């Protein structure tokens, strides 16, 4: 079967997309891009082909991208202009699958409502993932849609990794450690056998470092633990989220500062992390270039906590064969990679400085006891694969 799989990753003010041609069972990227600035006065459409050619770089009017629905009209017109009309299906990234969704599912009204019930667990992400599903279901009810969950890859965790030290009734009610960024980790796990049999068969920590950050312990390419827990607030410090936090801080904000739950939520999701620590930016590139001592504090804090997380996951697995950096910061910041590796020297981690500066695939030195790699992630390809497999399109 030949045709196109469209992958959508919707955020609060953007819709990222990628199209894949399916031919003879193989998926090939055609184009990718995004509509950003949705709901603002300066929306923009950007798109490029797989070979890097610019397909679109258009400033839009506020009316053209006033909502997700309106932005989808813009994308539809773009696809028609570029003859991407033979759509077979649409695959979506969904951050939280809760207890119910442990694998990709076919989207219908009932599934959307069930996913919507999980919004309190991922308020920053879940509503935006569901908006395009509703819009497409209304406009093209005949077009198959598939939801792929970031939590699904971690659902095989044992009790020690899965639980908080809370009463059983809360665990039964779904208060447990789910883990996130599973689509990214699944992609890295799929690449390891070809890139490094040692890491594929051994104990590897994958560091997904981007605007959102987490790490995953892979034992034989299977997720056994993760730094993220019940929501996407846990674990590592992130761009605007604090990561691991004493729950007493939340009680203090409510009781002593009189903050309402919505205000606390806004603080923890939008004003903390690198942004809160530095007072400068949530962007590692800006922090690296800044002379402000608070920027250096934020970077040192980030690298230290990242190294501590690697050591914690290594202790959980009982050893460490390799460390993989991925996502925006992990793939592009030689400064952060060096900062993390330096703090893991006691475990035998040693970078090859030139390879790290270039961002080579293998950045550990020959003397390093830990193999350190940089592997670009591809969540969109994983979503396309899941979509094709679920619908039996191969």
The H or E element containing residue 209 is: strand 203-209
The pair of structure tokens assigned to 52 is: 């890097």
Buried b (16+ CB within 10 A) or exposed e, 197-211: eebbebbbbbbbbbb
Whether 79 and 35 have beta carbons less than 8 Å apart is answered as no
User: What is d(CA 90, CA 390) in angstroms, rounded to the nearest whole number?
Assistant: 12
> What are the start-end ranges of the H helices in 29-125?
68-81, 109-116
Which of 61, 145, 68 minimizes the C-alpha distance to 107?
145
User: What is d(CA 359, CA 231) in angstroms, rounded to the nearest whole number?
Assistant: 31
Q: CA 236, 242, 248, 250: dihedral to nearest 10 degrees?
A: -140
**Beta strand spans in the chain (E):** 3-10, 14-23, 26-36, 44-49, 54-59, 87-94, 105-106, 145-149, 203-209, 213-219, 222-226, 322-326, 371-374
List, by residue number, the catalytic residues.
150
Q: How far is CA 184 from the centre of its chain?
A: 6
Which of 89, 86, 91, 76 minimizes the C-alpha distance to 143?
89
Which of 226, 114, 243 minimizes the C-alpha distance to 181?
226
Q: What is the 8-class DSSP label of residue 270?
A: H
Whether 62 and 43 have beta carbons less than 8 Å apart is answered as yes
- What's the Cα-to-Cα distance from 314 to each of 205, 237, 244, 274, 324, rounded to whole Å? 7, 19, 18, 25, 13
The pair of structure tokens assigned to 38 is: 């949705």
Number of H helices and E strands in the chain, helices first, is 16, 13
The pair of structure tokens assigned to 183 is: 């689509």
């Amino acid at each position: 079967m030949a045709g196109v799989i469209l992958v959508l990753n919707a955020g609060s003010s953007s819709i990222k997309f990628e199209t894949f041609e399916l031919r003879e069972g193989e998926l090939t990227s055609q184009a990718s891009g995004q509509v950003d600035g949705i709901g603002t006065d300066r929306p923009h459409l950007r798109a490029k082909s797989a070979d890097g050619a610019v397909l679109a770089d258009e400033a839009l009017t506020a009316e053209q991208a006033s909502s997700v629905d309106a932005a989808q009209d813009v994308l539809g017109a773009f696809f028609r202009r570029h003859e991407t009309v033979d759509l077979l299906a649409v695959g979506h990234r969904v951050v939280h699958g809760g207890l119910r969704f442990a694998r990709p599912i076919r989207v219908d009204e009932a599934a959307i409502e069930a996913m919507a019930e999980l919004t309190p667990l991922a308020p920053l992400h879940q509503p935006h993932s569901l908006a395009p599903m509703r819009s497409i279901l209304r406009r093209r009810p005949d077009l198959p849609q598939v939801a792929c969950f970031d939590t699904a890859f971690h659902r095989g965790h044992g009790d020690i990794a899965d639980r908080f030290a809370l009463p059983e009734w809360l665990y039964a009610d779904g208060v447990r450690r789910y883990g996130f960024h599973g689509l990214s980790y699944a992609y890295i796990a799929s690449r390891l056998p070809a890139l490094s049999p040692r890491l594929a068969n051994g104990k590897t920590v994958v560091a997904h470092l981007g605007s959102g950050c987490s790490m995953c312990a892979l034992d034989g390419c299977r997720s056994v633990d993760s730094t993220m827990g019940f929501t996407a607030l846990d674990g590592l410090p992130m761009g605007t989220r604090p990561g691991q936090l004493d729950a007493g801080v939340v009680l203090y904000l409510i009781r002593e500062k009189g903050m309402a739950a919505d205000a606390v939520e806004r603080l923890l999701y939008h004003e903390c992390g690198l942004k809160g620590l530095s007072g400068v930016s949530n962007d590692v590139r800006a922090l690296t270039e800044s002379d402000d001592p608070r920027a250096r504090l934020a970077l040192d804090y980030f690298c230290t906590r990242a190294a501590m997380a690697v050591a914690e996951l290594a202790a959980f697995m009982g050893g460490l064969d390799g460390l993989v950096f991925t996502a925006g910061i992990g793939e592009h910041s030689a400064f952060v990679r060096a900062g993390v590796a330096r703090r893991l020297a006691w475990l035998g981690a040693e970078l090859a400085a030139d390879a790290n500066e270039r961002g080579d695939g293998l950045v550990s030195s020959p003397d390093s006891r830990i193999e350190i790699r940089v592997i670009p992630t591809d969540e969109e390809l994983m979503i396309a694969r899941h979509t094709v497999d679920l619908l039996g399109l191969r």
